[in-house]
Copies of this chain bind each other. A is one copy, B any other.
């Protein structure tokens, strides 16, 4: 598939995909005879994973490290597992932050109601 479809499937922008390629986050991307990138389904899945990790706050540096380990094969699974577990723990912190913010907003909104209502 071409870059537009890869973008649509992953949720990343076309520019971001090119930026990720430059940044060493992607496997080698084949080119058609027209010089344009052709994404395999596997790479599209990889983009979806990257999008999900990034959207939840993983840094590019860590994603680059993860990509590098992935390239090196199954022997790196223990370290990859550690990275994903660490990120999973991170998700909990983010969820807690959302909860705190939601509570704060609920409180503020209620105060607004009181001011307007009374």
Binding site for B on A (CB under 8 A): 49, 52-53, 55-56, 74, 77-78, 80-81, 84-85, 87-88, 91, 94-95, 97-98, 100-102, 104-106, 108-109, 112, 115-116
Closest Cβ of chain B to A37, distance in Å, is 24
Chain A: interface secondary structure? Answer: helix
Pick from B55, B74, B101, B116: contact of A56, CB below 8 A.
Answer: B101
Beta-carbon contact of A115 and B74 below 8 Å: yes
Beta-carbon contact of A77 and B115 below 8 Å: yes
27 contacts between A and B (CB under 8 A): A49-B104, A49-B108, A52-B97, A52-B100, A52-B101, A55-B97, A55-B101, A56-B97, A74-B115, A77-B116, A78-B116, A80-B112, A84-B105, A84-B108, A84-B112, A85-B109, A87-B101, A87-B105, A88-B102, A88-B105, A88-B106, A88-B109, A91-B98, A91-B101, A91-B102, A91-B105, A94-B98
Provide the bound-state CA to CA distance between A22 and B98, in Å: 27
Determine the residue in chain B with the shortest Cβ distance to A81: B112
Closest Cβ of chain B to A77, distance in Å, is 5
Provide the bound-state CA to CA distance between A115 and B55, in Å: 27
